[in-house]
């Protein structure tokens, strides 16, 4: 599953990745904070969308990200 | 516990009314204590166990560094060491600012997820409601195109830095009412060079009654929040599932 930057505002501005709460190969749990992005005046915490393994981070801390852009890939647990 | 963190119990008030927003006035408290209080309320709001709430507070003197603050935002670090003003990191958006008694800080803990999921719209809303509050205090402040915060004749009077978790807001806006603005001259507030800062007191040439200011801003926030956000998302034509991750 790709983790994408959600639409934070109409006419959205770029955001910057300011904090990853987990690293590649870490197990992640649905609902926990995964990544913090920051716009000019706001920080926004994005939660883990599903239980699984964080296999790849595409946008590292300090990099800019646009709405809809992939930030990471999570290998979802098979139930 | 709320009662334990306020040294100014006379100013401590919680009004539970059947309005859209509860008002919680903490009086004068340290930045860290207010942060813990916000955090607890934030979690309760996310769990739908607390209502939308406006926290009003004045802080002991402190410099806070938002997520995007640069180290060179401080012009004279010695000044803050000499005066014993701590410099602390903060998880809010924005860059560097200063808080002290006489500055009214508004921390709305409100759930935008049930309303309008738009951060820029929310920041616009904060700027408008603070501008109106200042206008009611006789200070003709307003917004400036392509600049954040609230301004009066080229000088900044209110500073915004927010955070959002699960579409519930925390942190907020600081409004210079009667506070000493000298420390702002030892930094680049909001990371902007050559910025000039003012206060309601400086503009009016007299002290503003803080209790009056509290009532004005609480009333203005309640009214504006009701006007802008009271309708549930479904009535605004917003699809609750529109913002999905993945």
pLDDT in single tens digits along all 246 residues of chain B: 343 444 544 344 444 444 579 999 999 999 999 999 999 999 999 999 999 999 999 999 999 999 999 878 999 989 999 999 999 999 999 999 999 999 999 999 999 998 999 999 999 999 999 999 999 999 999 999 889 999 999 999 999 999 999 999 999 999 999 999 999 999 999 988 889 999 999 999 999 999 999 999 999 999 999 999 976 544 544 443 332 222
Q: Which of B118, B161, B245 is closest, CB to CB, to A3?
A: B245
Contact residues for B107 (Cβ-Cβ < 8 A; gap 6+): B34, B38, B54, B55, B56, B57, B170, B171, B172
Residues of A whose CB is below 8 A from B166: 45, 47
Chain B residues within 8 angstroms (CB to CB) of chain A: 66-68, 91-94, 117-121, 123, 148, 160-166, 242-246
Distance CA(B6)–CA(B121), nearest Å, equals 33
Q: Is residue B182 part of a domain?
A: yes
| Cβ within 8 Å, pair A44-B119 | yes
Q: What domains does chain A contain, in order, with CATH numbers?
A: 2-76 (2.40.50.100)
**Chain B closest-CA separation from residue A12 CA (Å):** 8
Residues of A whose CB is below 8 A from B93: 38-43
| Cβ within 8 Å, pair B243-A7 | yes
Give the mean pLDDT of chain A: 93
CATH of the domain at B177: 3.30.930.10
Closest CA to B26 of B126, B106, B109, B111: B106
Nearest CA in chain B to A73: B246
Q: Is residue B103 part of a domain?
A: yes
Q: pLDDT band at residue A11, thresholds of 50, 70 and 90?
A: low
The predicted structure's pLDDT at residue A40 = 85
Q: Report residue B106 CA to chain centroid gap.
A: 4
Q: Tell me the count of A-B CB pairs closer than 8 A.
A: 79
> Which residues on neighbouring strands pair with residue B209, listed in sequence order?
none
The predicted structure's pLDDT at residue B242 = 35
The predicted structure's pLDDT at residue A50 = 95
Give the pairing type, strands A33-38 and A15-20: antiparallel
Contact residues for B224 (Cβ-Cβ < 8 A; gap 6+): B125, B128, B129, B132
The predicted structure's pLDDT at residue B230 = 75
Q: Is residue B197 part of a domain?
A: yes
Residues of B whose CB is below 8 A from A36: 67, 91
Closest CA to B30 of B53, B47, B6, B65: B6
Output the six-digit token pair for A15.
């955001």
Catalytic amino acids of B?
190
The predicted structure's pLDDT at residue B10 = 39
Give the pairing type, strands B155-165 and A64-65: unpaired
Q: Which of A7, A12, A43 is closest, CB to CB, to B93?
A: A43
Give the pairing type, strands B155-165 and B147-152: antiparallel
DSSP state of B111: B
The predicted structure's pLDDT at residue B246 = 24
Residue B114 burial class via C-beta count within 10 angstroms: exposed 0-12, middle 13-18, buried 19 and up: middle
| Cβ within 8 Å, pair B148-A41 | yes
Q: Confirm or reject contact between A71 and chain B (CB < 8 A).
A: no
Distance CA(B182)–CA(B195), nearest Å, equals 13
Provide the residue range defining the domain that includes B160: 12-231
Distance CA(B59)–CA(A42), nearest Å, equals 21
Closest CA to B25 of B49, B51, B48, B5: B5
| Cβ within 8 Å, pair B162-A41 | yes
Number of domains in chain B: 1
């Amino acid at each position: 599953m790709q983790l994408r930057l959600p639409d934070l505002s109409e006419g959205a501005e770029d955001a910057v990745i300011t904090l990853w709460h987990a690293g590649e190969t870490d197990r992640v749990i649905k609902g926990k904070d995964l990544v913090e992005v920051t716009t000019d005046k706001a920080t926004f915490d994005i939660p883990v969308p599903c239980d699984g393994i964080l296999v790849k981070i595409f946008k590292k801390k300090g990099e800019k990200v646009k709405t809809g852009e992939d930030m990471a890939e999570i290998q979802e647990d098979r139930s | 516990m709320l009662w334990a963190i306020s040294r100014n119990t006379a100013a401590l008030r919680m009004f539970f009314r059947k309005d859209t927003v509860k008002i919680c006035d903490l009086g004068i408290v340290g930045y860290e204590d207010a942060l813990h209080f916000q955090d607890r309320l934030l979690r309760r709001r996310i769990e739908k166990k607390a209502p939308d709430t406006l926290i009003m507070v004045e802080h002991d003197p402190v410099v806070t560094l938002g997520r995007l603050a640069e180290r060179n935002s401080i012009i004279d670090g010695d000044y803050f060491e000499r005066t014993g003003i701590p410099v602390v990191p903060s998880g809010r958006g924005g860059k560097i600012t200063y808080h002290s008694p006489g500055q009214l800080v508004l921390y709305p803990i409100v759930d935008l997820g049930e309303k309008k999921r738009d951060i820029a719209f929310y920041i616009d809303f904060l700027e408008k409601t603070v501008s109106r509050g200042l206008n009611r205090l006789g200070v003709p402040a307003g917004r400036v195109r392509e600049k954040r915060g609230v301004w009066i004749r080229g000088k900044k009077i209110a500073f915004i830095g927010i955070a959002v978790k699960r579409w519930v807001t925390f942190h907020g806006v600081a409004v210079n009412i009667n506070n000493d603005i000298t420390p702002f001259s030892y930094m680049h507030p909001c990371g902007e060079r050559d910025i000039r800062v003012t206060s309601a007191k400086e503009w009016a040439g007299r002290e503003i009654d803080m209790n009056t200011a509290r009532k004005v801003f609480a009333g203005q926030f309640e009214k504006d929040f009701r006007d802008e956000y009271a309708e549930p998302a479904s009535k605004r034509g917003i699809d609750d599932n529109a913002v999905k991750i993945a």
